[in-house]
Amino acid sequence: MPRYAAIDIGSNSVRLLAAELRSGGPVNVLASDRQVIRLGESVFRDGRLSAAALDGLCEVLARWAGLLHGLDIAATRAVATSAVRDAANRDEFSRRAAAAIGTPVEIISGLEEARLIHLGVLTRFAHPANSMLILDVGGGSAEIIHSDRGECRDAFSKPLGAVRLAEVFLKSDPPAALELHRMEQYISEKLKPCLDRMGKRKFAHAIGTSATAGAIVCAVHRIPRAKREQAGGRRVTLQQIRRLYKDAVSRDVEALRKLPGVGPRRAEILIPGVAVFLRVLESFGVPSFEYSLGGVREGIVADLAARGAGRERAMLGREQRRVVEQMARKYGVCVPHARQVAALAMRLFELLEPLHCLPPQTATLLEAAAYLHDTGHFIGDTAHHRHSAYIVANSGMPGFTGRERELIAALCRFHRKSMPGPKHEQYHALPPPDQQTLLLLLPLLRLADSLDRSHSQQVESVDCALRANSVLIKVKSKSGADLDLWAAERAGDAFRQIYGRTLQLAGGAELS
C-alpha cells in the first residue's frame, strides 16, 4: 500500500500520522504522535510566535523527520492552522519549520482546514448520515461543518479556539463570573453568522472531533487518558455537557486536572472548549454529539490517497524513460508494443498491490523491463529472453543503479519460459529480498506481455476483482483480441505459482 504522512501544526498541539491507505480502503497506522507546543499562546497575547515555542516545534519536527525517513513515505503534507495564520512572524515559522521537517509547510485557510476535518471524519463512517453537524474546537479556531451524505454542504471557521479564548478572556483561576459572561457573549457573537445561514436546518446527527471533544467524552464517561481510543463513537448529551460546564467553572486548574481523561495541559483550556460545544449544540438544537477520532491528520492522509499522491515514484523519471526508449529503438524493439506492455504492467501493479505489497518505486523496474524484454531479438529469435538479459546487464543505462539494472535484466531473462529456480545462477546471484521482488513482478510482466501477444494493441484497459482463492482480470478490448486473451490465460500458471491464486480472465461479452 502507498504510505502517506500528515503533520498538523495547530495552535495548541502538533500532530503526526503516518499510515498506509488505499483510496476507499482501511487505514494501517504506522506512526502517530501528539505534542503540546501551544504556539497560539504568545500569538493570541502579543501577535507573534515566541522563540521558545518555535524552538520546541522545530525539535519535534526534526525528530519526526528522522522517523519518517525510515518508513518509505510516498507523500507528506504538513499544514499549519489558526495561530500561524495570525502570527506576524509566520515567514520565519515557514522557513524554520520546513527546514526541520524537510518538506514545505502550508499555512492553510480556515475553510481548507474544515475540508480536511470533514474528510477525516468520513474515514470513520462507512455510511455517512444525512445532514450531519460536525464541530471541531481546536486551539485557535472552531470549524462548524454541515455534511450531507458524505458531501460538505457548508463550512465556517471562527476564532473560537480553546487556547485563544483562555488567553483573551480567562485571567482568574477559577474564572470570574464576569470573565465567563464576556467569553460566552463573544462565542454567541461569533456564531451568529453560522446560525443565520444554517440555524434552520435539521441535523440528524452531530459529530465532535478534536482533543476538546475527546476530553469532554472522557470526563463524562470517566475514561482515562491512556484509553482515549475507547472514547471513539461514544456519545454525550447536551444535559451532560451542561453539568460538566457547571462543574468545571467552579474548579481551579489543579482540580480540573483530577477529572478523568483530562490531561494537565488540557485542564488549562478545558472550560472555553466546553463552552463552545455547549453553545453550538444549544444554538442548533442538537441534543447530543458523538466523538470521532478522525480529524485533520486523517483528512490529509485520505486526501493524499484519493489524489494518488506519490504515484510519480512508481513511474520512470524523464531521463530513465529516455534511456530505455533509446535502448528499445537501438535494438529494434517494436516501441508501440513496448509502451502497451509497460502501460498494462503498471496498471496490474497498481491493481494487485494488496497481493504483492511492494513499495511504489519497485514499479519502475517493471516498467523498464517492459520496454527492454524484447531487445534480445536483435541477437536472435531463439532464446531471445537470454539475449535480452545479456544486453541489459552489460549496458550502461545512466539513471539506474547497478542493483536496478541487475533486477531489470533478471525480469527480461525470466519473462518467458521457465520461472526462476535452483538451476538458474542469475537468480541465485540476487540477494533474497531482490529474489522475492523478482518473483512477485514476473507474473505481472508475463501477463502484460501476453495481453499484447498480437503486437496490435487490441486491449484498451484492464481491471480486476480480488477473491479468496482467485483473481478475476476484466479485459476491455477491441475486436480481434482472441490471441491476446488466449496468451494471457496461459500466463496464469506463473501467477498461480507465485500468488497461490488462480487467474481468471473475462473479456468482450463476458464483461456485461
Domains of the chain: 3-108 (3.30.420.40), 124-293 (3.30.420.150), 310-457 (1.10.3210.10)
**Count of alpha carbons within 13 Å of 275, Cβ hemisphere only?**
27
Which tens digits make up the pLDDT trace of 352-378? 988 998 888 899 999 999 999 999 999
Distances (CA, A) of 198 to 133, 191, 480: 10, 10, 58
Nearest Cα to 158, choosing from 113, 94, 225? 113
CB 415 within 8 A of CB 446: yes
pLDDT at 141: 94
Nearest Cα to 365, choosing from 407, 322, 323? 407
| pLDDT bucket at 415, cuts 50 / 70 / 90 | very high
Distances (CA, A) of 199 to 280, 291, 418: 10, 22, 70
Beta-carbon count within 10 A of 238 CB: 17
Respond yes or no on whether the N-terminal peptide bond of residue 174 is cis (omega within 30° of 0). yes
| pLDDT bucket at 201, cuts 50 / 70 / 90 | confident
Strand, helix or coil for residue 301: helix
| C-alpha cell at position 258 | 483530577
CB 439 within 8 A of CB 420: yes
The b-or-e profile of 294-328 (16+ CB within 10 A means b, else e) is bbbbbbbbbbbbeeebbeebbbbeeebbebbbebb
Degrees to nearest 5, angle at CA 298 with 64 and 262: 80
Degrees to nearest 5, angle at CA 210 with 261 and 19: 105
**Distance between CA atoms of residues 401 and 299, nearest Å:** 36
| pLDDT bucket at 204, cuts 50 / 70 / 90 | confident
pLDDT at 341: 96
Distances (CA, A) of 16 to 6, 65, 68, 138, 457: 6, 10, 10, 16, 46
The H helix count followed by the E strand count for the chain is 22, 14
Place of cell 529474489: 435
Read off the pTM. Answer: 0.75
Residue 258 in this model has a pLDDT that exceeds 80? yes
Which tens digits make up the pLDDT trace of 85-112? 999 999 999 999 999 999 999 999 898 9
The b-or-e profile of 430-447 (16+ CB within 10 A means b, else e) is beeebbebbbbbbbbbbb
Distances (CA, A) of 388 to 120, 133, 372, 435: 48, 61, 7, 19
**Count of alpha carbons within 13 Å of 58, Cβ hemisphere only?**
16
pLDDT at 126: 65
**Distance between CA atoms of residues 15 and 35, nearest Å:** 7
| C-alpha cell at position 386 | 537470454
User: What is 196-238 written as a DSSP string?
Assistant: HHHTTPPPSEEEEESHHHHHHHHHHHT--GGGGGGGTT-EEEH
DSSP 488: H
Biggest distance spanned by C-alpha atoms of the chain: 92
| pLDDT bucket at 510, cuts 50 / 70 / 90 | very low
The b-or-e profile of 240-278 (16+ CB within 10 A means b, else e) is bbeebbeebbebeeeebbebebbbeebbbbbbbbbbbbb
| C-alpha cell at position 245 | 460546564
Percent of the chain whose predicted confidence (pLDDT) is above 70: 97
Residue 420 in this model has a pLDDT that exceeds 60? yes
**Distance between CA atoms of residues 222 and 319, nearest Å:** 60
Distances (CA, A) of 274 to 82, 159, 251, 283: 19, 15, 14, 14
Percent of the chain whose predicted confidence (pLDDT) is above 90: 78
Average pLDDT value over all residues in the chain: 91
Residue 1 in this model has a pLDDT that exceeds 90? no
| Amino acid letter for position 373 | H
| C-alpha cell at position 20 | 498506509
Higher pLDDT, residue 317 or 387: 387
Residue 21 in this model has a pLDDT that exceeds 80? no
pLDDT at 374: 97
Which tens digits make up the pLDDT trace of 304-352? 888 877 777 778 888 899 999 999 999 999 999 999 999 999 999 989 9
